[in-house]
Amino acid sequence: MLFKLLVFICMVCQVSTLQCYMGTDSQCFLMDTSYSQNGCGDGIPVKNCVCAKYRVQCTPDDTACTTEEQRLKTVKWAYIMTTDQMCKQMKKMPEMFRQQKCCKKNKCNAPQSKSVKCMNMFPMDSGTGKQKKAPPASRRQNVM
């Protein structure tokens, strides 16, 4: 019983992070909330963050699209980290955010196509090849 209680306390005390893909089919990267002092932006705590993906049509003023994609009004996938609240708002606009999916698990908004190559934004330990732990909050950069 004591062991179960300790495991539960450790799970609750852990600083949770969320790994989400960000960008589009043509340029994306994997981001981790542990590298930001702002959680998922504007000081929103990580517990309120979600990963999302949706299809969007390129418009003439869309900086995430090339000139050719804008001209052809290309529809492509977008990947973001956002809040629960924003996700609910996006669901109310299916004509703009097509095939939207919001989720709360690491990498749950991964691109479906194997042709999409995303950069990993986490430093890797050259000795182990594993992801390094986030620096202490006092040394983190504000990336949002």
What does DSSP say about strands 19-24 and 75-83: parallel, antiparallel, or unpaired? Answer: antiparallel
pLDDT tens digits for range 58-82: 999 988 899 999 999 999 999 999 9
pTM above 0.75, yes or no: no
User: Average model confidence (pLDDT) for the chain?
Assistant: 75
- Enter the DSSP assignment of 132: P
For residue 48, is pLDDT > 90? no
Report the b/e string of 100-115 with b at 16+ CB within 10 A: bebbeeeebbbbeeee
Q: How many CB atoms lie within 10 A of CB 134?
A: 17
Q: How far is CA 57 from the centre of its chain?
A: 20
Q: pLDDT band for position 122 (50/70/90)?
A: low
Which DSSP helix (H) or strand (E) runs through 10? helix 2-13
Query: Tell me, what's the pLDDT at 76?
Result: 93
pLDDT tens digits for range 10-45: 333 344 688 999 999 888 899 887 766 566 766 777
Which among 54, 67, 44 is positioned nearest to 22, based on CA atoms? 54
The stretch 94-99 carries a mean pLDDT of 94
pLDDT tens digits for range 77-92: 999 999 999 999 999 9
